[in-house]
Structure 1
Amino acid sequence: MANVASTDRLAQGSTVLGARNVVRHFGGLYAVNDVSFDVREGEILGLIGPNGAGKTTMFDLLAGSVAPSSGEILLNGVTVSGEPAHRRIGRGLGRTFQIPRPLANLSLVENVMLAEQGQAGERLLTNFLQPFRVAAQERAAEQKAMDLLDLVSLSRLAHEPARVLSGGQRKLLELARVMMADPAIILLDEPAAGVNATLLEVIIDRIREINQRGVTFLLIEHNIDMVSRLCHRVLVMAAGQLICEGTAAEVARDPRVIEAYLGGAAQPGEAA
């Protein structure tokens, strides 16, 4: 459970990522309807809600995969509502996906190195004019990738092809890959989905460790125990709207949350 002292400290933190009256509709369907919230520097914020609540669409809006119909997305105080995902990565926003898709035939270290930003070797002419610079950057990137694989307990498999990994190990690889871009905030899409209990403990520990290094997290998760253990605050969505926020214990007792889950596909203690 996130402790109260750390929650009080984070309440004073600056906003890393914000949504202001965000709406996204597809024809007559409002997937996200007038949602506003802040993700504070250094916190782990959970986003839960019954199936169809609009959580994934909200993530897509924040990441830049989908543009809002109206409203504003702010990243470190800058309006990024019209920017594509790759521009937001450059501003320090990283994202993982519920189903990781590493390049199966590349090694783990190669998969992680691909996420390095601003490599001189990406420009053809530089490879001819400054080969020593390119080589030095590649060595540095490989060492950084190896350090990140060590962080997520995959260094022993660094030179194995990604196809050998289990589902839980692929989640850890994706966490290392997103860290390669030095994000200030990471959007985690169901990190516990399809992961066995042993690897889930590893994932929880690594999220905590990365958070202690100063990285902010916003996560969608169906595993309420994981949310309770990790998150300083929890937001609850239902029918495209934000209906409640507070600690995990507070939102679990809120009548609006209980009603949303009882009217949906899941019970409060089972899914989000």
Structure 2
Amino acid sequence: MLELQGVSKAFGGHRAVDGLSLSIERGRITGLIGPNGAGKTTLFNLIAGAMKPTEGRILLDGTRIDGLRADRIFKAGLARTFQIPRPFPEMTVLDNVLLAPAGQLGESVLRAWLTPGAVRAQERRLRDRAMACLDFVGLARLAQDPARVLSGGQRKLLELARVLVAEPSVILFDEPGAGVAPALLDTIVEKIAALNRDGVTILIIEHNMDLVMGLCDPVVVMAQGRLLIQGRPQAVQSDPRVIEAYLGGVAA
């Protein structure tokens, strides 16, 4: 579903991602782990279009996406969440979700004037879809509240709803468990698993090893910008190279 071929990203003389080749299988939950500084977030930025690779190719379902703008990649069906969600605090929870869908007719003054019926019909459909996404993540009761009232975990659920309203085929999760209370973490894990059962391909950066080992298969390990190992969770966890990377100071 997602293929990286010799991807590198250099910042001056430092190669944050260094000739990395990787295939993400369709319909799986793949975990991406590694020590701090291993290049994981840079890799996410390259895949999602926030950065352009210095070298290499990135393919989504067989089509090259490296070098495309982030909005083009989003429209192609690849979405991401962020470690620290930043919703628009004074907008309602529902309106935050309604920002995401592409191609909204009401964004064009001409269309809104010439075809108001079509604009209203689309707005109703999108509102229904957004409410369904909020219901899925358990935030429907807060739909009309300002996003500033949400806890950190609830903001991550809001970000998930905002991603889902666009109906992506691939989602990149950047540390969904970071700073989340245990009860909400269980909810987030449950929602990720449910999305995967519905056919969404998922790639997760996460430092919570219990989450990774219980949810992801396969697990990919990066160190110093390179692919260290990829395999089943139990095999990866006990591999001497992984232990050395975390405990032996391999990461930059």
Q: C-alpha separation between the residues in 2 aligned to 1:177 and 1:79? A: 25
Unaligned runs of 5+ in 2: none
- How far residue 138 of structure 1 moved from its aligned partner, in angstroms, is 0.6
Whether the 8 Å contact between 2:224 and 2:250 is mirrored in structure 1 is no
What pairs up with 1:200-215 in 2 under 5 angstroms?
200-215=185-200
Q: Which amino acid aligns with 1:232?
A: D
2:171 maps to which residue?
Answer: 186
- RMSD in angstroms over aligned alpha carbons? 1.1
What pairs up with 1:183-262 in 2 under 5 angstroms?
183-262=168-247
2:36 maps to which residue?
Answer: 51
TM-score, normalising length: structure 2? 0.98
SS at match of 1:51: coil
- How far residue 248 of structure 1 moved from its aligned partner, in angstroms, is 1.4
Q: Which amino acid aligns with 1:100?
A: P
2:122 maps to which residue?
Answer: 137
Q: Which amino acid aligns with 2:123?
A: E
SS at match of 1:23: strand
TM-score, normalising length: structure 1? 0.91
Q: C-alpha separation between the residues in 2 aligned to 1:256 and 1:227? A: 18
Q: Which amino acid aligns with 2:46?
A: L
1:10 maps to which residue?
Answer: none
1:160 maps to which residue?
Answer: 145
- How far residue 176 of structure 1 moved from its aligned partner, in angstroms, is 0.4
Q: Which amino acid aligns with 1:115?
A: A
Q: C-alpha separation between the residues in 1 aligned to 2:85 and 2:67? A: 26
Q: Which amino acid aligns with 1:102?
A: P
What pairs up with 1:1-272 in 2 under 5 angstroms?
16-264=1-249
SS at match of 1:252: helix
Identical aligned residues as a percent:
54
- How far residue 263 of structure 1 moved from its aligned partner, in angstroms, is 2.0
SS at match of 1:222: coil
Whether the 8 Å contact between 1:105 and 1:163 is mirrored in structure 2 is yes
Unaligned runs of 5+ in 1: 1-15, 267-272
1:8 maps to which residue?
Answer: none
Q: C-alpha separation between the residues in 1 aligned to 2:75 and 2:97? A: 17
Q: Which amino acid aligns with 2:175?
A: E
Q: After TM superposition, what 4+ stretches of structure 1 lie above 3 angstroms from structure 2?
A: none
Q: Which amino acid aligns with 1:126?
A: R
